A and B are shown apart, each in its own frame.
Chain A
Amino acid sequence: MDVINQDALSIAELIKKREISALDVTRAFLERNDKVEPKVKAYIKVADELALARAREVDMELADGIDAGVFGGVPIAVKDVLTTKGFPTTCGSKMLEGFVPVYDATAVERIQQAGTVMIGKTNMDEFAMGSSTENSYFGPTMNPWDLERVPGGSSGGSAAAVAAGEAPWALGSDTGGSIRQPAALCGIVGLKPTYGLVSRYGLVAFASSLDQVGPMTRNVRDCAALLGVIAGYDPMDSTSIPGELPDYLGGLTGEVRGLKAGVVRELSSEGIDTVVKERFGEAVALLEELGVTCEEVSLPSFSYGLSAYYIIAPAEASSNLARFDGVRYGYRAPEEGEDVWEMYDRTRAEGFGGEVKRRIMLGTYALSAGYYDAYYAQAQKIRTLIVRDYGRAWEKYDVLVSPTSPTTAFKLGEKVDDPLTMYLSDICTIPVNLAGIPALSLPCGLSDGLPVGFQVMGSPLEEIKVLNIAYALEQAIGFDARPDI
C-alpha cells in the first residue's frame, strides 16, 4: 500500500485502525517531498522535525487509548499566509522574512485540534496577490503536470503540494480565486466557503471584505471533511457567522436528480479557451445525464466584475498593508535615512515586491481625493449589482456553473510582465468573492495533458448543495489522472 496515494479520509482510517502509524505516514510524505520538492518547490518551509514530533505524539495518544482527533496523524500543508505560532510565516514576502507569529490562526488551531500534522508552509504569490505563484520572494512553484508551467495562484504551493502527493490536503485562501484557480490548474478540488463561515483570525489580510480560508484536496469527500474542521463561529473574527454547522460529509448523498443549474453565459463563452469550453461542455452534459436541468443564464453585471474587483481589492490592500512599516515586525531598510518618514519609504520600497507595490499604488489612487467616486464608490455599486444578479439566479437555480479558469496552466514567465493579462486569469472566479458566496472547483478532465477546472457556485451557506453536486459530478467524470512526477 502506498500511503502517499491515499486521500486524507482513507489515511485517517488506516491510522485509527492502527494499520499504519502516524509516524510512518509523516515519514512517507516527507520522503516524497525529498524526492519531488526540488522540481516542484511547493513549500516555503517544510516543518519536518515538528511534524515527526507531532506524529510521534499522535502514536503515543493512540497507544494510550486517548482520542487523537478525527484526523489524528493525517499530514496537512498550510499556505504561508496563515499564522503559525512559533513557526515562520512569510506571506511569500521579503517584508516578513524571519517573522515568527505569537499566535495561531483559528483555522490552524482547528486543524491541530483535529489531530492533523502540519508538514510545512506552502509557497504563494506575495501577500496572496497573483494568479501564478511567480510573485513569491522565495521563487516560483512549478506545476506538477508540466514543470515549465505555473500552478496558478495565489495558493499555488498548496495546490502543487496536493497534486504532487507532497500532502494529502492543504489549506489555502481565496480573495478573487486564489484557491479555485490553482486547484483547477493542478487538477485538484478547492473550495472557497461563504464569506464569514471560516474565521479570518490569523489570516494575514489582503482584502478583508473578500478573503476566505478554504480546503484544497484530492477529492470532494476530503473537501467536505476539511471544511467541517475549519468552519464555524469564532469570537476573534467580528465577521464570523454565528450558528450551528451542518454535517458537510454526511450531506454527500450523490442524489442530485431534479436540481437546476444555470450555466453563466458571461463566464463561459467570451475569453474562454476552446479546449476549456470543450471539457466544460462535456461536464455539463454529464450533469444533465445525472438528472440536473442545465440551461444558460445571463448575469449581465458579471462583465464588470473584473474591473470592479481590481479597484476594490487593491483599495482594501492599500490600507491593510499600511501596517508594514518596519517598526513592529518584519523587514526594516538597513539604511534608514534622515527620519522615520524616510525609513518607512525605504522599508516599504525594499520589502515589497513589484506586484504588491503595483496594487498598493492602484488602491491608493482609487481611494485618493478626486478619484474616489469615479473608481471606489462606483466599484462598490457594481458589487451591489453582482449581488443582485446572483440573488435573481437563486430564485430559479440551485447552483450556477462555469469553467474555473479561462485557460489551462500557462508557461512560467508568459504573463508576468503584463499585469492586465494576468488579472484576466481570475475572470471566472471573481464575482463569487464580490458576492461572498461559496464556490468549488473540481477537475473535469485533461486537455493536452493539463487539467481543466469546473466551477460550482451556490447561494450563501449552501455549501452542502455545492459539495453534493460536485460529488455527483466527480463520480460521473471519474477523473483519476495523476501527474507523472
Chain B
Amino acid sequence: MAISIEDVEHVARLARLKLTDEEKETYRRQLSDVLEHARRISEVDTSDVPPTSHTLPLRNVFRDDEVKPSLSVEEATGNAPWAVEGAFKVPRIL
C-alpha cells in the first residue's frame, strides 16, 4: 500500500501537524510499510463478524447528576501556557 506525499499532507492537515518536507518523505515511506503489513487483515473473511470496540460487558454506565466540588478556576487554568484573569488566551480564531 503505497501512499503519496499528497496523502501525507492531507492526513497531517487533519491531524493538525505542521511537517517539514523531509518529515513528509519519511512518513510517506514508513506509513506505506506499516499499512502494507496491516493490509494482511483484509485477507480474512469477516462478512459475518461484528466489530469489537470494547471488551467489557458493561453498557450505559450512569451515575446520579449531583453537584460535587470541582477544580477552582486557578487550578483549572494554572497549567495553561497563557491564561489571563481565569481565561485561556489564544491567537486570533476568526
Would you give the 0/1 interface string for A451-479, flagging 1 where the beta carbon is closer than 8 Å to chain B? 00000000010000000000000000000
Q: Is the CB of B15 within 8 A of A361?
A: yes
Q: Is the CB of A364 within 8 A of B55?
A: no
Q: Is the CB of B17 within 8 A of A361?
A: yes
B67: interface (CB < 8 Å): no
B residues near A360, Cβ cutoff 8 Å:
15, 17
Enumerate A3-24 residues with CB–CB distance to B below 8 Å.
none
Q: A338-B92, A344-B16, A365-B7 are in contact. List 20 more A-B contacts (CB 8 A).
A: A100-B79, A103-B71, A238-B61, A310-B38, A322-B16, A326-B81, A327-B81, A328-B88, A338-B91, A349-B17, A368-B14, A375-B38, A378-B42, A381-B44, A381-B46, A384-B49, A385-B46, A419-B30, A419-B33, A435-B55
Q: Is the CB of B79 within 8 A of A328?
A: yes
Show the binding face of A for B, using Cβ within 8 Å: 99-100, 102-103, 195-196, 209, 235, 238-239, 241, 301, 303-304, 306-308, 310-311, 318, 322, 325-332, 336-346, 348-349, 352, 357-358, 360-362, 364-366, 368, 374-375, 377-385, 387, 419-420, 423, 434-437, 460
Q: Is the CB of B11 within 8 A of A358?
A: no
Q: Is the CB of B56 within 8 A of A378?
A: no
Enumerate B1-51 residues with CB–CB distance to A below 8 Å.
3, 7-8, 10-12, 14-19, 23, 27, 30-31, 33-35, 37-42, 44, 46, 49-51
Q: Is the CB of B27 within 8 A of A361?
A: yes
Pair count A-B, CB < 8 A: 173
Smallest CB separation, A416 vs chain B (Å)? 12
- A sample of 23 inter-chain contacts (CB < 8 A) reads A102-B78, A239-B58, A241-B58, A308-B41, A325-B16, A330-B81, A332-B82, A337-B91, A340-B91, A344-B16, A348-B16, A349-B19, A357-B23, A360-B15, A364-B15, A375-B41, A378-B41, A381-B49, A383-B52, A385-B46, A387-B52, A420-B30, A434-B55
A423 to B31, CA, bound (A): 13
A170 to B5, CA, bound (A): 43
Q: Which of B19, B23, B37, B55 contacts A420 (CB 8 A)?
A: B37
A341 to B92, CA, bound (A): 9
- Given A340-B92, A358-B27, the answer on whether A381 and B79 have CB atoms closer than 8 Å is no
Show the binding face of B for A, using Cβ within 8 Å: 3, 7-8, 10-12, 14-19, 23, 27, 30-31, 33-35, 37-42, 44, 46, 49-56, 58, 61, 63, 71, 75-82, 88, 90-93
A383 to B18, CA, bound (A): 33
- Given A358-B27, A360-B17, A364-B15, the answer on whether A436 and B55 have CB atoms closer than 8 Å is yes
Smallest CB separation, B29 vs chain A (Å)? 10
| 9 pairs of A and B residues whose beta carbons are closest in the complex | A436-B55, A380-B51, A332-B81, A329-B79, A381-B46, A345-B18, A349-B18, A383-B52, A238-B61
- Given A345-B16, A349-B18, the answer on whether A358 and B90 have CB atoms closer than 8 Å is no
B residues near A375, Cβ cutoff 8 Å:
35, 38, 41
A371 to B28, CA, bound (A): 16
A361 to B10, CA, bound (A): 10
When C-beta atoms are compared, the residue in chain B nearest to A343 turns out to be: B91
Q: Is the CB of B63 within 8 A of A235?
A: yes
Q: Is the CB of A380 within 8 A of B53?
A: yes
A208 to B52, CA, bound (A): 13
- Given A328-B88, A358-B31, the answer on whether A209 and B54 have CB atoms closer than 8 Å is yes
Q: Is the CB of B79 within 8 A of A209?
A: no
A residues near B92, Cβ cutoff 8 Å:
338-340
Smallest CB separation, B72 vs chain A (Å)? 9
Q: Is the CB of A328 within 8 A of B80?
A: yes
B residues near A102, Cβ cutoff 8 Å:
71, 75-76, 78-79
